[in-house]
Structure 1
Amino acid sequence: MSGSLWLKPPTATPALPAPPRPREAGAGAGAGAGTAADPLDELAFRLDEFVAAAVHPDEIAALLESDGMTDDHIRLAYGRNDSFTLAEDLYARVVRRHPEPPRKHRSGPGRSEGLGGCLLRGLVFALPGLAYVLAGPLLAGAHGRYGLPAGTVPLLAGAVTGWVWNQALSHRAHTWLGLGDRAAAARALLTGAPAGALAGTAVALAAARDGELPAAVFAAGQSLYLAAATALLVLGRERALLATLLPLLGALPALRWDLPDPLRAGLPALSLTAACLVAAHALRPGTARGAAGRGGPPLAASVPYGLFGLGSGVLVLHAGLGDPSATGAGAVVALTLSMGPAEWLLHRFRGGSLDRLRTLTTARAFRRAVSGTLLLCLGGYLTVLLGLTLAANLLGPGAPWPAPDRLLALLLIGTVLWLGLLLQAFGTVLGAATVCLLAAAAQTLEPAAGPLAAGGAAAVLAVLSHVLLVRPTTHRV
């Protein structure tokens, strides 16, 4: 679940005119200049294009304040008490005009990546699961812990470490890309990805116990793959990553027939080697002189993205571990595959909101339209998730029909994930990460409270999303 896919470089803010000097008493006397131009009319004229496209006066107030216009200056130059009063006057003076967006943006800037591209990402998220099908018999041991199969603990420990590290790394690299410095992004990935692989391997080895060494070795390969896949996904090399995963299709016969051990071990190793080589080739620009960039985004800014990866990853694990049968495995497969359509629907929401920002003329109409679009996109994602879950259970060998309570819990977790990704896309990642972490902690401490924890998290995120996204200023790019 790669985050930060919607980062963009900050756009330029229209410059405000220089503050007019107050007219002295008697100025223009003798020249018939007693009717000096109103400074507010001049300001409205110079900001005409921005004010005409504003959906709410708060947008104008934000522009005035961002340019450093203080209340004292506003009282002196324009005779208004503050930026909000001045913004309301400007809003009332200028007729609403929302120009037709350029043809290339008719579908919204977030929709340049079509459904096919997002489905491709969902596929590359899910295909690595075939490696577990192949290697499963090689990892089986005599005893497990916490009621889990042998080897599960080091595998989960390495995977969660990778999710946390690579979410934060992905955000940092995407920030460099948003600044237009692809070489610096490659450099960040070149240094961060191997460090993440080492961290995942170390945690998996530390979590392993007697008889779990094969699982720890597999976890090391898993950490290495996550590092390579993160680099390729951030750089937009999904098709190359998909090609490296093709050897894992050898797992399909393993669903019905037993395969020799060398083949079970060789196919994942071949796929892993190919992914690492392709990633190394893609990261070559990071070795160039000056690729480290100058300054760059603060490291602390990427921490909330790692925390969101931790919370969402634990919730996904609970979706599968809460039901050790094939139904639980089908839930994890469905959640993983659904990340592709989820990403596309996030693009649809952002693009549709920007279209409405350009065409609607009142704040009330904008709030209603955005609320409807939010419900439509969330409902579309949950419908896709439900369909994938039912399909996974129908196609699975001997999988029972999922119980209604398990389906409800899965849909609540899906709601948390989609709304969390939506808030992350609009820069409110800390709130989303906090809610996901609290829900994951509650479900870990008391598994029976899983649906209640996920439902509470979904409700909180729904309120946060609505409060944030009905404001027109949130969507200005």
Structure 2
Amino acid sequence: MTGSIWLPPGASSDTVPGVPKQRRSPSWAEPDPIDELAARLDEFVAAAVHPDEIAALLESDGMSDDQIRERYGVKNSFALAEELYDRVARRFPEPDGPAHDPWQIGLLGCLLRGVVFALPGFGYVLGAPLLAGHPESFGLPAGTLPLLSGALVGWTWNQGLAHRAYSWLGLGDRPAARHSLLVGAPLGALLGAGVALAVAGTAHPTAVTFAAGQSIYLGAATVLLVMGRERALLATLLPMTAGAVVAMVHSVPDAARLILLLGSLLAVVALALLEVRPDGIALKGRGAVFNLRLPPRGRDQPPRTRSQKSTMSPRLTSSLPFALFGLGSGALVLYAALSGSAVAAVALTLSMGPAEWLLYRFRSGSLTGIRNSRTPKAFWRTTALTLTLCLTAYLAALLTLTLLATSLWPHTPGVNAVSLTGLLLLGMVLWTGLLLQSFGAVLAAATTCCAAAAAQTLALLTHAAGPHWIAVYVYGTAATVQVVLVGALLSRVTAHR
């Protein structure tokens, strides 16, 4: 009947009827935007081990949470990633050829760097007679405090400087990297020499001079290591090393000691200057032009404008955590040497070669785990196993080097179980710290190492008894903290991308 309202059975005439929504025919229905996105990202989503991988891709594509809510009707990128992860079946296609692994590196090159790190220690053996004098505080040999203070400043400054230079190299701006080294290395040498002078005053002029040379060497060596000139640095250190070995068994005149030390220092500085000289400056001699490792700028690499440089320039503050890590780790190594003998410092320094190679092996193993794991739990198990194997291999290498150095080094006190335990725990702190640094968590590693160094300093100033046991407690706590941090960080798949 016209004007009447149809009511469903059981409804009263006083009830306001609801107006049914208009529904389109299924053939006219708009496609689900999430399904469209899933189809577009099908290969990546199917191979994802965890939704966080998909979320990282969405964020890298510039999708904001507001855009995701408006377009896809979900709260944020993580919610959208979970939707995509649920809608696409897992598939892990094998690559057509050998899988690309950017973390493959030769063991020989890493071992060479470890040797290069250790050889400067022979300079102290060669220069020991030049530093003779009355013992200093805490029963340390004459000149120890200015040398240690200058070394700590150098390690701190040059660690930050190396990070900044590597940042420029990562941006493809080699001239900017050379310029930062050309300016930063001399400043670090002046700072290290100034601190040594402030600590020693006029009481130890020879020690201050030696510390100044040490600071100059650290800056020049940083230049060569950053620019990949390890072999050249090794060549400059060999005469000084040979002289130190001879001096350990035969008497060597002071003049010969001084000539060997200055000769190696001048050679290192000269090579460093060749590496960081500005473009267009070449050294000519007898018809040849010496242009070491400075290829001309290609046509496909036009000079960047001032605005581009200001936009891409790495921030100075980003290098500060790396400098703090150099301070903390350097202080821990020095305390290990002072609390026992030089064997600990030698073994730790030499172990940095195997440590670097094992860091690359871990990165390579985690990449393989991403390709082969089907679930997040399976990836976590693979990563934990790779971490355990690499850390165990490093501690085995450190133990072998310690026992070898103890057997070869004359007049060295025997290594007891407590000091050896402390040394291995310190090695664990350093290796896990380097691992955290390689994954971008350098601030956490720097905080832990600096806190451990502060605890060691407090124990030294308060004359606490049992320094080896204190070292075990401090290093054990720091190692535990960093292992927990490593587990929390590396359990996430996105940390390995």
So what's the TM-score if we normalise by structure 1? 0.88
| Separation in 2, partners of 1:378, 1:194 | 37
Moved more, 344-353 or 59-68: 59-68
CA displacement, residues 68-91 of structure 1 (integer Å, 9 cap, x when unaligned): 545554454334444333222211
C-alpha contact 1:125 1:337 (8 A) present in aligned 2? yes
CA RMSD of aligned residues (A): 2.2
Q: What residue number does 1:261 align with?
A: 254
Aligned to 2:349: 336
Letter of the 1:53 partner, please give it.
A
Identity among equivalent pairs (%): 58
Checking the alignment, whether the CA contact within 8 Å between 1:183 and 1:285 is kept in structure 2 is yes
Which residue matches 1:310? 327
- Asked if 1:319 is matched to 2:336, the reply is yes
SS of aligned partner of 1:109: coil
Match of 1:454 among 472, 475, 479: 475
Q: 1:147 to 1:221 in 2, by over 3 A?
A: same
Do the aligned partners of residues 150 and 286 (structure 1) sit closer, same or farther apart at CA in structure 2, a change above 3 Å counting? farther
- The yes-or-no answer on 1:404 pairing with 2:417 is yes
| Structure 2 equivalent of residue 144 of structure 1 | 136
Label 1:28 to 1:286 Cα distance change in 2 as closer, same or farther (>3 A).
farther
Query: C-alpha deviations, 1:9-52, integer Å up to 9, x for none?
Result: xxxxxxxxxxxxxxxx98998xx941433322210111122212
Q: C-alpha distance in 1, partners of 2:157/2:363?
A: 27
Does residue 95 of structure 1 match 2:89?
A: yes
Cα 1:70/1:277, change in 2 over 3 Å? closer
Letter in 2 for 1:153: L
- Once the two structures are superposed, the pairs formed by residues 37-436 of structure 1 within 5 Å of their partners are 37-71=31-65, 73-100=67-94, 106=100, 108-111=101-104, 113-248=105-240, 249-285=242-278, 294-295=309-310, 296-323=313-340, 328-436=341-449
Cα gap change, 1:152 to 1:282, in 2 (>3 Å): same
Other structure's SS at 2:309 match: coil
The count of residues paired between Structure 1 and Structure 2 equals: 444
Equivalent AA in structure 2 for residue 299 of structure 1: L
1:36 aligns with 2:57: no
Distance 1:165 1:450 in 2: 26
What amino acid maps onto 1:394 in structure 2? Answer: S
Matched residues in 2 for 1:104 and 1:200: separation?
A: 49
- Give how far 1:256 is off: 0.9
Which of 439, 454, 457 in structure 1 is aligned with 2:452? 439
Counterpart residue type for residue 261 of structure 1? D
> How far is 1:211 from its partner?
4.0
Question: Which segment is superposed worse, 268-277 or 285-294?
Answer: 285-294
* Gap runs ≥5 in structure 1: 1-24
For residues 117 and 381 of structure 1, what CA distance do their matches in structure 2 show? 16
Matches of 2:178 and 2:280, distance apart in 1: 8
Q: 1:136 to 1:72 in 2, by over 3 A?
A: closer
- Give the letter for the 2:246 counterpart: P
**Partner SS state of residue 488, structure 2:** helix
Distance 2:224 2:86 in 1: 50
Separation (CA, whole Å) in 2 of partners of 1:380 and 1:424: 19
CA contact 1:142–1:211 (8 Å) conserved in 2: no
SS state at 2:139 partner: coil
1:71/1:158 Cα in 2 relative to 1: closer, same or farther (>3 Å)?
closer
The structure having more radius of gyration, on CA atoms, is 2
Tell me the distance in 2 between the aligned counterparts of 1:457 and 1:438.
Answer: 8
User: What amino acid is the match of 1:231?
Assistant: V
Q: CA–CA distance in 1 between the matches of 2:344 and 2:92?
A: 45
Instruction: Please report the TM-score for the alignment, with normalisation by the length of structure 2.
Output: 0.85
1:93–1:285 Cα change, 3 Å: farther
Displacement of 1:373 in angstroms is 0.7
Moved more, 390-399 or 38-47: 38-47
Match of 2:17 in 1: none
Once the 2 structures are TM-superposed, how far is the Cα of residue 205 of structure 1 from its aligned partner? Answer: 1.2
Distance apart, 1:453 and its partner CA: 1.1
Judged with a 3 Å threshold, the aligned counterparts in structure 2 of structure 1 residues 432 and 265 are, in CA distance, closer, same or farther, namely: same
In 2, the alpha carbon distance for the partners of 1:365 and 1:409 equals: 34
Structure 1 pair 351/285, CA: closer, same or farther in 2 (3 Å)? Answer: farther
Q: Residue 187 of structure 1 contacts residue 287 of structure 1 at CA under 8 Å; is this kept in 2?
A: no
Gaps of at least 5 residues in structure 2 are 1-20, 282-296, 298-302, 461-466
Name which of structure 1's ranges 194-203 and 79-88 shifts more when overlaid on structure 2: 79-88
Q: Which amino acid is the alignment partner of residue 30 of structure 2? A: A
Secondary structure at 1:255's aligned position in 2?
helix
* Distance change (3 Å), C-alpha of 1:47 and 1:192: same
SS of 1:49's equivalent in the other structure is: helix
Most deviating of 75-84 and 184-193: 75-84
Rounded Cα–Cα distance in structure 1 between residues aligned with 2:227 and 2:43: 36
Q: CA deviation at 1:207?
A: 1.1
- Is 1:473 matched with 2:497? no
Q: Label 1:81 to 1:199 Cα distance change in 2 as closer, same or farther (>3 A).
A: closer
**Further displaced range: 344-353 or 143-152:** 143-152
The farther-off stretch of 279-288 and 255-264 is: 279-288
| CA 1:286–1:144: 2 relative to 1, 3 Å | farther
Q: Distance in 2 between matches of 1:316 and 1:300?
A: 25
Query: CA-to-partner distance for each residue in 1:61-115, whole Å, 9 max, x for gaps?
Result: 2333444545554454334444333222211222333344576755x3122x310
Cα deviation digits, residues 280-311 of structure 1 (max 9, x gap)? 11112468897998221010110111001000
Q: Distance in 2 between matches of 1:438 and 1:400?
A: 29
**SS in structure 1 of the partner of residue 136 of structure 2:** coil
CA separation in 2, counterparts of 1:329 and 1:102? 52
Amino acid of the residue matched to residue 160 of structure 1? L
